[in-house]
Amino acid sequence: MLKGSCLCKDVRFAVEGRLGRATACHCGQCRKQSGHHWASSSAAERDVTITGPVKWYAASQAAKRGFCPKCGSFLFWKAHDEDTISFALGALDEPTGIRLESHIFVADKGDYYEIADGLPQHERS
């Protein structure tokens, strides 16, 4: 089981079960909300237990983003039409055993950095 929390620890979460790919998302929304790219993995919504006062922001018609209303930590991304939820890798307690697998939405990456870690890069998701 993986466990994580926001910076102030008001929001905590636990993840059990199979994880999705560990990716770094370079889309404009993730960069704006996180301050850089956003590293995440995902799991079936039923396998993620969240405790605490998550505030959800409807970032688009396709998805919402969950964050702590006290400290502002950006923790979750949830597509409206999927039964999975993505969670921030940086919010997990270590050790995680997770390794980043790829970069997504690299067509939208910021002009202030290069991706040079040798991982696969995808123009979209």
- Do the domain assignments include residue 36? yes
pLDDT (tens digit per residue) in 64-85: 999 999 999 999 999 999 999 9
Residue 22's domain spans which residues? 2-108
pLDDT (tens digit per residue) in 24-35: 999 999 999 999
What pLDDT shows up at residue 111? 96
- Do the domain assignments include residue 119? no
User: Residue 125: which pLDDT band, with cuts at 50, 70 and 90?
Assistant: confident
What pLDDT shows up at residue 58? 94
- Do the domain assignments include residue 123? no
- Do the domain assignments include residue 97? yes
**CATH code for the domain in which residue 37 is found:** 2.170.150.70
Please report, for residues 104, 111, 115, 124, the alpha-carbon distance to residue 107 in angstroms, rounded to integers and kept in the order given. 8, 10, 12, 7
- Do the domain assignments include residue 116? no
- Do the domain assignments include residue 113? no
Write down the pTM of the prediction: 0.94
- Do the domain assignments include residue 120? no
- Do the domain assignments include residue 124? no
Q: Please state the domain count of the chain.
A: 1
